[in-house]
Structure 1
Amino acid sequence: MPSNGVITLEELNRRLADPSVSDEELSRYFNVDQERSGPFSPVLTLNSNTVSIPPTAEGTARSAALLNSANFIARLRRHVAFNARVGEGSYHGPILVSEGDSWFQYPFKLTDVIDDLMQKYAVFSLDAAGDTLSNMFREAEYMEAIASTGASILLFSGGGNDIVAGGNLSAHLFDFDPAKSPAAHLRPSFNVVLDEAIGIYSKLVRQVAQKFPSLHIICHGYDYTIPANGPWLGKPMASRDITDLALQKAIAQVMVDRFNERLSLLQSSSARLHYIDCRGTVPAGEWYDELHPTNVGYRKVANKFAAKVEELSQRARTVDRRANKARATVSKETSSRGPTSQALGTASRSAKTKEGPTGRSLHIGLNAVDPAHYAGWSGPLNACEFDSQDMYEIADGLGYVATALLTAKATRENVTAEIERAAQDLVAGDIFFISYSGHGGQLPDFNGDEDDAVDETWCLYNGQLVDDELYTYWSKFKPGVRVLVLSDSCHSGTITKNIAPGGLAELAVVWVPLARAMPSDVAARTFRQNRDFYSALGSSLDKLEARVVSRAIDTPISCSVRLISGCQDNQVSLDGPGNGAFTAALINVWDHGRFNRDYKAFHAAIGRKLPDTQSPNLWSIGPSNPVFDAQTPFAI
């Protein structure tokens, strides 16, 4: 090396290929081009004070080639270090795979999170500065890496580009308004960007969990970034006349909070996802730029990861010590083929881990109703019990604690007791799945909340359950609980109820012999025969719903309810010999669990298999839950 400390390109290449030369030593040969860098995608240049670049076309080309391969070179260096650690024979710690953005790989200039963790652990790194969530999920390199290394933990870092809207933050900001709060300066489109990011996260977690059910995933939310007139935060805000530094910082905090809130929500519904909250970890003086901590700041984040790795590794060692005993004492009990008309059900042992969210399900199927209540009408149907049994088997196979109530057992008392029990027991991240197959009915609208002056009902064995009642039950569920409702009955388009439903498309009512609808003359006779019961019910609901409406204004319904129904409110659902038309289409689309898209796609695919006279509805009430939106159907 020349005496002035400047090295040649050849010498730099040699040092890059030498694993004994640390990244910290190599950092002096590079600078960061802030103008050309993207968010979480630093662009390096050679430091002309330490690297001699020949002033020729060949020299320029060689230096460009070296810089373009910075991520690749950094990855190779890490792979060499990984192989050396696991090959030395003395390492007995966990095997980790890491996939992430520039918080996991900031080539050469910074000692990032993975650089710190590699000092103690064997980490097979797939990280690349500038990598995006969508690209990581599309290429899914981590799947092969987990399989080939036998890793027990996947470290994941992604979504930073989404927080700053891929460098286009100004498009998601309103112009400065002194009357607006920091949060009000963010357009609704910013939430859409984050929801899409969490949707990818959710798919990635499911993808890994399905193939590697015992593997843990550790992810993180970013810390509070500090706008500093940079191209990702400060300047986009200034372009909207948001120039006050305190306001810029407050808006950035809202952005980071919203991303962290979504990751926390995802963790609550994912058995083996562990989210690290990094907010407040990196103080103001430990930021290298608007988005990246300094070496000291990264070390503090790495310490949080290390603590979680140690916790999970200790848990795994405890499991290993008990493994032989557990195998020797495994239960030989067997479960029945399916439900009877009694309330049944414990989940499949292998489908649900002790950790993570709980799935509770209730499956209601009535091939007849009690003539004593329905004015002498028994309402015979063919396939509703079959529907309930099939939904039970799907839920049981996925690990739900499943219950079936068939015909005479499907009373108002039994059904509402099961719903109330679920509302009491389930907590944030859990899911309640309820399916109904039977007649749909209509009653006079007692509280004036229906545009068509009628309330939709489920015809249970000894009386109708009104949509207004269902809403009051949903209001009892805790925040963060997911509720999935499948209703294969007539007039079921909004059976879950909404305080302020939007208009529905006008669709012709088609009456056919196999419709799951209580005939209008039977409905009239049933109401007249039970006028006192339904009038008293309507009066009590009027008072109860007034309280619910007040709550909905002050504190909106806490759980997220999603309904997929067999038809619209002004249509009928068809019965059949083996299943109802809606349930048959659903089972066909589900295809024994091979369907791997979200609920919106599930609803559309079911609709394509039904006649034009039966249009399934997709309906939601309660707070938006992007994790729920992105999940495959029935996922716990």
Structure 2
Amino acid sequence: MENLVSNIPVIQNRNPANARRILNNSVGLNAVNDPADVLQIQNYLKALGYPVQNNGSIANSQTDNTIISILNFQANNNIQVTGIINPNDQTYNTLKQLNSASISLTEEVDESLHQPFITNSFIFRRNAGNANTLNVIFEGDSWLDYPVPRVLDLYDTITDRNQRLNLNCLHLAKFGETTSQMYADRANFVQYISGYRIDRIYFSGGGNDVFPQLGRILNAGVTLFDASFFTDTAKLNELKSMSSGDSLYQKCIRYKRYLNTATFDAALFNTVNLNRIFTVIMRNYLGFGSIINTHATPNTIFYMHTYDYPLFKLGVRPSIIGVDLPLGPWIKPVFDRLGITDEILKAYIIIRLLDKFYALLLQIKNHFNYYGYRFQCRIIDYRGLLNSSEYWRDEIHPNSVGARRLSTRVNF
């Protein structure tokens, strides 16, 4: 999905209670911008998850949130990008149409208990020869296979969001698997990609390689965020003046460009161990890439994704009906053992580690391109999207709302 600016839409509730049915004047960049019409458009956009304020006002600038959301909505729906909405034009009619649709997935719907493989594979095989289907393999970890009922994962929300494409999906993901375990258990993947036309592969892997190994990745002895780690003293003092919580973590993400990465990395990360872990991940990704390359066509697209920064619910374990499951947490215990209590230091360890993982995925993609692999490769970058505790289920997994938010970046 291409966006003109960084604000990404999120589907939350497609039935805005306060949206009016008739738009009388133009709304947007250099438009008439009658407050009542602006409020209607803001209600529509916010109901689709765009980050706007329902205030009935617009500042005629490219940085106004409503205008940014209009621009992104037009780009995301293949509408001519003008930044303006007129009565009964294509943008307005599309907004009304989307808002009249009902959400097909809710957290009360037990969608995360995916079909058993024998049933899922039978349905996939039955439909795979249909020229009108888009055949998709999902392989990966708990971001595609969250083990708690009634919590939507990315598999649920991506397939729901793209159902207009007549998807025919094979679900191979298993929660808790490392990329090495996925590769060792590749028999079904090989069987189906070699035996059927596969149009898309969505792959989620690496989190279980990295986070359980955090104790080996971090150096001991650094417990406070040193001033030498930052290039802007005023910005660092601003962070230090804030208490822990969402606002601090959000600002740490925004200020990551002021991190002196060379100094920080040298102090915090055991480079030898981290490189070993990343080398294993890369080897397994390239192994899957070789399998795909053998059977793919130039129309096959291989999707890899980053994880988002798990800053907002450190120490929270997966649970069901209020009872903690014997899973995790993976990050906070390591910080506790190393004596790391500085919230800024915690934040930048996580931010930097996830940014390094993105660089690893980029290296993998460049490998595919350089050596002329036949399939297309795309990286879905989720970093910074789940920027509030309201989007996280536990320490490292999004909740249903977060999964819907992530799925807006996936367009098959």
Q: TM-score range by the shorter chain?
A: 0.5 to 0.7
In structure 1, list runs of 5 or more residues that go unmatched.
Answer: 1-19, 31-69, 310-636
2:134/2:168 contact within 8 Å kept? yes
Give how far 1:99 is off.
0.7
| TM alignment of 1:359-508, pairs within 5 A | none
Give how far 1:138 is off.
2.0
SS at match of 1:118: helix
1:24/1:111 contact within 8 Å kept? no
| TM alignment of 1:149-298, pairs within 5 A | 149-164=196-211, 167-177=212-222, 178=224, 179=226, 181=229, 182-183=264-265, 184-188=267-271, 189-214=273-298, 215-226=300-311, 228-230=314-316, 231-271=329-369, 272-285=376-389, 286-298=391-403
SS at match of 2:138: strand
Q: CA 1:21 to 1:219, structure 2 compared with 1: closer, same or farther past 3 Å? A: closer
Q: Sequence identity, in percent? A: 23
| Residues 220-274 of structure 1: CA deviation (Å, up to 9, x unaligned) | 1111111612521111111101112221111011111111111012112314221
| Residues 66-121 of structure 1: CA deviation (Å, up to 9, x unaligned) | xxxx78x654564576578x4998x9341111111111111324211111233312
Cα distance in 2, alignment partners of residues 192 and 247 from structure 1: 24
Q: CA 1:261 to 1:193, structure 2 compared with 1: closer, same or farther past 3 Å? A: same
| TM alignment of 1:75-86, pairs within 5 A | 75-76=117-118, 78-79=120-121, 82=124, 86=127
Give how far 1:201 is off.
0.9
Q: CA 1:87 to 1:263, structure 2 compared with 1: closer, same or farther past 3 Å? A: closer
SS at match of 2:380: strand
Q: CA 1:260 to 1:80, structure 2 compared with 1: closer, same or farther past 3 Å? A: same
Cα-Cα RMSD:
3.0
1:163/1:259 contact within 8 Å kept? no
Q: Which residue of structure 1 lines up, in the alignment, with residue 405 of structure 2?
A: 300
Q: Which residue of structure 1 lines up, in the alignment, with residue 152 of structure 2?
A: 111
SS at match of 1:123: strand
Task: Note if 1:135 corresponds to 2:240.
Answer: no
TM-score by length of 1: 0.35
Q: Which residue of structure 2 lines up, in the alignment, with residue 576 of structure 1?
A: none
2:128/2:135 contact within 8 Å kept? no
| Residues 445-488 of structure 1: CA deviation (Å, up to 9, x unaligned) | xxxxxxxxxxxxxxxxxxxxxxxxxxxxxxxxxxxxxxxxxxxx
SS at match of 1:191: helix
Question: Which residue identity is paired with 1:228?
Answer: L
Give how far 1:150 is off.
1.7
| TM alignment of 1:544-559, pairs within 5 A | none
Cα distance in 1, alignment partners of residues 152 and 274 from structure 2: 31
Instruction: Specify the structure having the higher radius of gyration (Cα).
Output: 1
1:224/1:280 contact within 8 Å kept? yes
1:99/1:125 contact within 8 Å kept? yes
Q: Which residue of structure 1 lines up, in the alignment, with residue 235 of structure 2?
A: none
| TM alignment of 1:512-551, pairs within 5 A | none
SS at match of 1:270: helix
Cα distance in 2, alignment partners of residues 197 and 229 from structure 1: 25
Cα distance in 1, alignment partners of residues 107 and 119 from structure 2: 9
- More deviation in 100-109 or 169-178? 169-178
Cα distance in 2, alignment partners of residues 241 and 155 from structure 1: 38
1:202/1:266 contact within 8 Å kept? yes
Cα distance in 2, alignment partners of residues 83 and 199 from structure 1: 30
Cα distance in 1, alignment partners of residues 399 and 119 from structure 2: 21
| Residues 570-614 of structure 1: CA deviation (Å, up to 9, x unaligned) | xxxxxxxxxxxxxxxxxxxxxxxxxxxxxxxxxxxxxxxxxxxxx
Q: CA 1:150 to 1:22, structure 2 compared with 1: closer, same or farther past 3 Å? A: farther
Cα distance in 2, alignment partners of residues 93 and 78 from structure 1: 15
Cα distance in 1, alignment partners of residues 107 and 173 from structure 2: 15
Cα distance in 2, alignment partners of residues 21 and 278 from structure 1: 21
Question: Which residue identity is paired with 2:157?
Answer: D
1:132/1:161 contact within 8 Å kept? yes
Q: Which residue of structure 1 lines up, in the alignment, with residue 372 of structure 2?
A: none
Cα distance in 2, alignment partners of residues 83 and 211 from structure 1: 17
Q: Which residue of structure 1 lines up, in the alignment, with residue 36 of structure 2?
A: none
Cα distance in 2, alignment partners of residues 81 and 104 from structure 1: 19
1:78/1:124 contact within 8 Å kept? yes
Q: CA 1:265 to 1:171, structure 2 compared with 1: closer, same or farther past 3 Å? A: closer
Cα distance in 2, alignment partners of residues 82 and 168 from structure 1: 36
Q: CA 1:82 to 1:216, structure 2 compared with 1: closer, same or farther past 3 Å? A: same
Give how far 1:172 is off.
2.2
Q: Which has the higher strand share?
A: 1
In structure 2, list runs of 5 or more residues that go unmatched.
Answer: 1-103, 230-263, 317-328, 370-375
Higher relative contact order (CA 8 A, sep 6+): 2
Cα distance in 2, alignment partners of residues 88 and 111 from structure 1: 29
Q: CA 1:75 to 1:297, structure 2 compared with 1: closer, same or farther past 3 Å? A: farther
SS at match of 1:137: helix
